[in-house]
Structure formats: structure tokens, C-alpha cells
A = this chain, B = another copy of it.
Amino acid sequence: MLDKFQEECGVIGIYGHPEAAKLAYLGLYALQHRGQESAGIVTCEKSRLFVEKGMGLVADIFTEDCLARLPGDIGIGHVRYSTAGSSLLKNAQPIVVDYAKGPLAVAHNGNLVNSKSVRSRLEKEGSIFQSTTDTEVIIHLIARSRKEGFVDRLIEALMEIKGAYSLVILTENSVIGVRDPYGVRPLILGKVDGCYVLASETCALDLIEGTYIRDVEPGEIVIINSDGIESRRLFSVNKTAFCIFELIYVARSDSIFFEKSAYAIRKEFGRQLARETAVEADVVIPVPDSGTYAALGYAEESGIVYEKGLIRNNYVGRTFIEPKQSIRHFGVKVKLNVVKDVIFGKRVVMIDDSIVRGTTSRKLVTMLQNAGAKEVHMRVSSPPTIYPCYYGIDTPYKKELIASKYSVDGICTFLGATTLAYLSLEGLFKSVEFGKENFCTACFSGKYPIKLPCFFKI
């Protein structure tokens, strides 16, 4: 899964720390894998908000000067990979507004499914939107609410929206965390130097030497202010639906879920994959970097030697200029190269975590064959991705998902591989050791836990 199509967003919030902006910056840096398109930090001092946003990477956007323009001891941050709204600076988050009740900033991870209809209604009543993000809908709903306290206005707004959302909100005197009733996207609560922190993943705590307290619960609102921390319930749902793809691909491998690292979970996927889809071979190689952990598990379980047969180029830039007399597989070649003497004459098992369009996998199979591989057995550490995600993972439309068009045999033919096999859904959950009923598996099963409007094009 070389293609950069599954990233989503990362959020962070800090309350009461004298270096709120710097901690937010480091937290975002640790969450960079969740979005590389844009990043932003908002802090608050004396009821005034300070905003810095930019396109690109956290380490490039936030210079010393830039952080110096972010005073105050409360702040929130966001890294974004656009899944809704086009890729413009004006869509960079956190979204900041001044409305009748004061300043407000919101950072959102996830995707709403009814934002279009709500937006349309609000516009008819005279609201003017400044961005095309679904997040702005939430803000307008808050501004429209006639409730007295901020949290009540927030709850009234949330009652109208449907979809996946982990929110971190900054008001002039509080930081608030919200997780949608299904808990689709992660959000955790921790502490650093005695101050509360909200973040998408535990890896953000590691870098700033914080400690993990607990997950924000599905449907929970956590309000952090000068009175301490308070928890309110949005409303309850019978079941939760945590995104299984967070474990398969999105999360950083050192982040902790259900008391295990994503690394350990993914390696277990690989072991289970070896059990389910064993094959005679000389060498196991990962598709870097997405297949690495499953490949280690597969190699260990199967006893076949693990090698890094594909080398990733560390200096990949944004674009590459190709000669007119074009180079075969140019797009993949500038990123990866085959180590020939590791592959030549070998029966190769190539592991990846998923197959989306299949085009990159096909090029890799060919590159291995050209390098002299006798056989290429592709193994995938998750079930076939048949359905698109509407909850924040940037998958393509259904017709572009190869597994929605072909059987496993058909895909194998398309790839030109010797054999192809996927991890079963049962195998997947056996590895997770946590009830399947708690997860969203829509991309494999087509069972969407949060109802979609009928106009959604699947």
C-alpha cells in the first residue's frame, strides 16, 4: 500500500501548560503520519486566540519565530490530509472564528455524513461559509444555538450531525475533547507535567514525556478548564465501531491500542496470515514500509528467511520529472529499488497490509520478476478492501477498488503473481483479541454502522 491514500487527520489539545504551543507542535510532529498536507496550532492568551497554519510538514511550518507568535497556556493543533474539502490553505484546521459569544477554534478528525444537508439548510437561513470543510458546519450550529453555556450549545450542535468525529475544541478558557457515539476515530487523554493532554494516539505522549490516562469514550465530552476535568455523555449507542484500519495501517506502529502496540498487533496479523496461507518459498519480503510488521510475523511463523528485497529511497520529493523516453514503472522506481541478489532465482513471498487499486502491487510483482524472482507469492495481512470508507479514511470510489471488481483469483491474474492470498476476517479478529462487534469493518463487509444518506455514491 505505497499509495498515500489512507491518511486522515491528527489532533492534539493542551490545557494549562506554560509551553502549550511547543507541546502541541511536538505532539503534531509525532502525529505527522496522520496527515502531511497542512498543519495548524491555535493558542489562547487573555481571551484572544493566536493562529498559525501552513501547507506542508509540521517541522517546516513551525519555526521558532512562528511558535513565538503563539502565546498562552492552552492550545490545540491539527494535522490534515484532506478527505473532505479540497486541499487549500483556507481548509487547513483548526478552524477559527469569532462569533457573538467569543472566539472559538475546532480541530476535527473524521468525516460527517450529513454535512451537506445541514450546510444547505444553514445557508438558506443566511449563514455564510468560509471553507468547504464539514467541520465548519459544527461551528455554525454552535453559533446558531440559543443555549446559554458553551457545552450546551455544543451538545445541541452535535445532536444534528452524524458521522465520525474526534474533536478537540478551544474556547477562551477551556479545552474540550469529543468522540462520536460510535468511537470511530481514536482520542486519548493523558497528562504531561501535571497538565491534561488530548491526542489522537499515544505516540504523541511519548515524545513529550507524558503519561497515558485513558481513552476518551465513544459519545463522551471531556471538558478541561480551571475547575479540572469534567465528563459529559453525548448520548449512548448500543455498540461502538472503532475503525479496524487504524490498527491495520493508519496508526503509528508504536501507538498503543487495547494495551498492545500496533506493531505487535500487525506482527500477529502476519503470523496468522502465515498460518492461513502457507506456501513453499525462499524469502519473505515486505512492501516498505506498510508490510514490514506483518512480514516479520509471517517470516517468524513460517520459518522462511526475512529480507528487505525492496529498498525505499529516503529522499523522495514531491514530484519527479521523467524523461520523454519513458522509464518503465517510473513512479514506483523513484521510490523503491529491488536488491537483485536478494531476489534472483528465489521463490519470494511479498507481504503488504492491503491492496487498494492494485496498480502499485502489479508494478512491484513485475519488478521482482524482472530481477529474477522464480515465483512471487503475494500475501495481504487484511481481508479484501471491497467498500469505500465514509468515515475519514481516504479510499477511492468503489469502482476503483480492485477487490470490488475481481475475485481473489482475478486480482492475482491482474497482478501477474504466482499466488495471492488475504488474511480472513476471522483471522484478523483472532489476532486483535478484542471483540469483532466493537469494530467498523465496512471496508471489508459493506456493513456501515452509521447510516449513510442515500445519495452517497458507493
Residues of A participating in the B interface, judged by any CB pair closer than 8 Å: 19, 22-23, 25-26, 29-30, 32-33, 36, 57-60, 62-64, 67, 97-100, 120, 123-124, 126-130, 139-140, 143-145, 193, 203, 206-209, 252-254, 260-261, 263-264, 289, 292-293, 296, 300, 305-308, 311, 313-325, 327-328, 333-334, 337-342
- The 8 Å CB contact of A261, one of B63, B333, B340, is B340
- The 8 Å CB contact of A296, one of B22, B23, B253, B306, is B306
- The 8 Å CB contact of A36, one of B129, B139, B208, B315, is B315
- The 8 Å CB contact of A315, one of B32, B97, B311, is B32
- Contact status A207-B261, CB under 8 Å: no
Give the number of times this chain occurs in the complex, counting copies: 4
Q: Which residue of B lies closest to A252 (CB)?
A: B311
Q: Give Cα distance in the complex from A26 to B322, angstroms.
A: 8
Interface centre among A23, A209, A253 (most CB of B within 10 A): A209
What are the 7 A-B residue pairs with the smallest beta carbon separation, nearest first?
Answer: A59-B317, A126-B144, A100-B123, A32-B315, A130-B130, A19-B323, A22-B323
Q: Give Cα distance in the complex from A97 to B342, angstroms.
A: 44
- Contact status B260-A334, CB under 8 Å: no
Q: Give Cα distance in the complex from A296 to B144, angstroms.
A: 61
- Taking the closest CB of chain B, its distance from the CB of A254, in whole angstroms, is 5
Q: Give Cα distance in the complex from A260 to B339, angstroms.
A: 10
Q: Give Cα distance in the complex from A319 to B305, angstroms.
A: 38
- The 8 Å CB contact of A140, one of B60, B126, B144, is B126
Interface centre among A33, A293, A340 (most CB of B within 10 A): A340
- Contact status B207-A327, CB under 8 Å: yes
- Taking the closest CB of chain B, its distance from the CB of A440, in whole angstroms, is 25
- The 8 Å CB contact of A323, one of B23, B63, B99, B264, is B23
Question: Please, which residues of chain B bring their CB within 8 A of the CB of A263?
Answer: 308, 311, 339, 341-342
Take A144-B126, A254-B311 as given contacts and tell me if A321 and B261 are in contact as well, using a CB distance cutoff of 8 Å: no
- Contact status B315-A29, CB under 8 Å: yes
- Contact status A62-B327, CB under 8 Å: no
Interface centre among A62, A99, A324 (most CB of B within 10 A): A99
What would be 9 A-B contacts, judged by CB atoms less than 8 Å apart?
A: A26-B323, A30-B313, A64-B321, A97-B130, A127-B128, A209-B328, A254-B311, A261-B340, A264-B339
- Taking the closest CB of chain B, its distance from the CB of A71, in whole angstroms, is 14
Interface centre among A63, A292, A317, A334 (most CB of B within 10 A): A317
Question: Please, which residues of chain B bring their CB within 8 A of the CB of A25?
Answer: 321
- Contact status B317-A60, CB under 8 Å: yes
- The 8 Å CB contact of A99, one of B23, B62, B128, B206, is B128
Q: Give Cα distance in the complex from A99 to B313, angstroms.
A: 39
- The 8 Å CB contact of A316, one of B59, B63, B206, is B59
- Taking the closest CB of chain B, its distance from the CB of A113, in whole angstroms, is 21
- The 8 Å CB contact of A19, one of B19, B64, B324, is B324
- Taking the closest CB of chain B, its distance from the CB of A233, in whole angstroms, is 26
Take A98-B129, A128-B143, A315-B32 as given contacts and tell me if A254 and B62 are in contact as well, using a CB distance cutoff of 8 Å: no
Question: Please, which residues of chain B bring their CB within 8 A of the CB of A338?
Answer: 254
- The 8 Å CB contact of A334, one of B29, B145, B340, is B29
Q: Which residue of B lies closest to A264 (CB)?
A: B341
- The 8 Å CB contact of A320, one of B59, B144, B340, is B59
A sample of 20 more A-B contacts (CB under 8 A), given A67-B321, A100-B124, is A22-B321, A22-B322, A22-B323, A29-B313, A29-B320, A32-B313, A33-B314, A59-B320, A100-B123, A127-B128, A193-B325, A207-B327, A207-B333, A207-B334, A209-B328, A253-B339, A261-B339, A263-B311, A263-B342, A264-B341
- Contact status A57-B253, CB under 8 Å: no
Q: Give Cα distance in the complex from A324 to B193, angstroms.
A: 13
Q: Give Cα distance in the complex from A175 to B229, angstroms.
A: 54
